[in-house]
Copies of this chain bind each other. A is one copy, B any other.
Amino acid sequence: MSADGKSGLQLRSLIKKSGELEISLVEIPTPEPATDEVVVRVEATPINPSDLGLLVGAADMSTAKAAGTKDAPVIRARVPDAAMRAMAGRLDQSMPVGNEGAGVVIRTGSSESAKALLGKTVSMIGGAMYSQYRTIKAGDCMPLPEGTTAADGASWFVNPLTALGMVETMRREGHKALVHTAAASNLGQMLNKICLKDGVDLVNIVRSSEQADILRKIGAKYVVDSKSPTFMNDLTEALSETGATIAFDAIGGGKLAGQILTCMEAAINKTAKVYSRYGSNVHKQVYIYGMLDPGPTELTRSFGMIWGVGGWLLFPFLMKIGPADGMKLRQRVASELKTTFASHYTQVVSLQEALQLSHLAVYGKRATGEKYLINPSKG
């Protein structure tokens, strides 16, 4: 990290044709800003589940070994042979990581919009945030309100817009309430706050009573535990009360997506008047947006014929709604950054610390309640 910001460290993830993952730090010159660009000294960038996919890829992290030095640490791990096919597109490319972050603008291009940001603390979206300096378009920066730190604004995009995007998708597709799995996550808590504020019923599916408690404490009304022996009945009851016919599933693998559809159909049929062997005529939808369980999704199709399961991703959603509606969502995030959209971090680490095995073992688990923030300007 040069004091003048002309060069700095950047985290890189590389999967070699040999099947070896290598995560390391490289010193790179900071690109000079073009007319409409700025250089940001990155001070806060979160490790989201969506970053881990690129950071560790399909590597088996139980094989991870540390190498290098304290200042230039290197992590190496094996990618199982069976998973290499899915990695084909990125082999032997040293890839920067980090979707979103925040920091201070230290240099700008000559455009008015770029110059206006000089000295400001801004949030950014666009990848390669696990870097000490990031040259980026002024338009991809959002100046943070007075009194908001880089840490406050670092997670301004992925989780807040994903949570808002779920509620928006629910509305646009004609549903009146929604279901969320792995619901005690940082994202899930945010979603509860949005729904409470907007008066939208949300059925939270968690995997332990501790997670249920987290949500009840922030005011969640409907929380069901998938580990409970009465799960299917509990879920059907909550779906019946709320009328939720759309779900967002972070887990992906296993039977859960199908169980949600089965319970939706059962809830709908409680009030059915006529038998139809094709099931109800109400559309039931599960969107899979994460893969906490990368195993196969198993759908036992006992939920009629009017259903859908599909992938859901933030960027295609934003493309679909267009820039004007996207801007409205961003403005809501900015105005509620310290309330609805506040993130809580369990650890703040430097780039070097992020490559310590002890930390990797914690954030790599994607465990509910553990959330890391990297401060590349630290240490």
A residues with CB within 8 A of B = 53-54, 57, 85-86, 89-90, 93, 95, 252-253, 258, 269, 272, 275-278, 281, 288-289, 291, 294, 296-302, 304-313, 316
Contact = CB atoms under 8 A, between A and B. Distances in A.
B306 A309 contact: no
Contacts of A277: 53-54, 57, 89-90
Nearest to A309: B309
Contact of A90 (B275, B289, B311, B316): B275
Contact of A311 (B300, B305, B313): B305
Contacts of A308: 308-311
Contact of A288 (B54, B300, B301): B301
Given A89-B269, A89-B275, A93-B275, A305 B296 contact: no
B307 A301 contact: no
Contacts of A300: 296
Contact of A89 (B53, B272, B316): B272
A252 B301 CA distance: 8
Contacts of A281: 316
Contacts of A53: 277
Contacts of A296: 258, 298-301
B316 A311 contact: no
A304 B299 contact: no
Contact of A307 (B93, B291, B294, B310): B310
A252 to B, nearest CB: 6
A86 B302 CA distance: 7
A289 B253 CA distance: 23
Nearest to A289: B305
